[in-house]
Amino acid sequence: MTRRKRSTRKRVMTFPAEIIHESLRLCGATWKALPYPDHQKVVSRWVSVYGEIYKSYWRKKSGPRAIADAEAATEKAFLLVPCRDPSQRGWDAVGEAYSCLADKLPDLTEASHFVDIFISPQNLSWTLLYGHETDVFGGPIFARVGWCVAPTPERQEKARYRKRN
């Protein structure tokens, strides 16, 4: 079996660039687009840290509490990174990512109808994830690096039991 090389070309999709730009303008941000190879590297780093953020062993906050914690954690500079096309499986760089400066974080709820997007500082110490069903499930998700708790053997057994039954 031969492994298929990962493409370095951008995926074609309906990317909400204008919606993202308007969200950035509304929060008073300045931004510049990241080169696509840098976008891919950031997504890869993010996936290595937060790739299983939807798993139950991740402590996370959602909705207004998530936004408030992200606002408190940000120090004006942040990355805005589209990380999943909802019509595809798995995390991947899609569209265009941005390096941003702003006193306030943008509201990406409308853009998240087209693409999953995360906001994080360069060091990825925290993340605010706008998934494609953000408005259905109560808002974006906020998590910090240290909030991942590895499942205990008992917890793993309970999960296996629930899957079987």
Q: Is residue 52 part of a domain?
A: yes
Q: Is residue 104 part of a domain?
A: yes
Q: Is residue 151 part of a domain?
A: yes
Report the number of distinct structural domains present in the chain.
1
What is the average pLDDT across 106-123? 94
Average pLDDT of every residue of the chain: 87
Q: Is residue 31 part of a domain?
A: yes
In one-letter notation, the amino acid at residue 63 is: G
Q: Is residue 8 part of a domain?
A: no
Domain that holds residue 152: 17-164
27 vs 149: CA distance, rounded Å: 34
Note the pTM of the prediction, 2 decimals: 0.81
Q: Is residue 160 part of a domain?
A: yes
Q: Concatenate the DSSP letters of all residues of 65-113 into one string.
A: HHHHHHHHH-BSEEEEEEEE-TTSSS----S--EEEE-SS----TTGGG
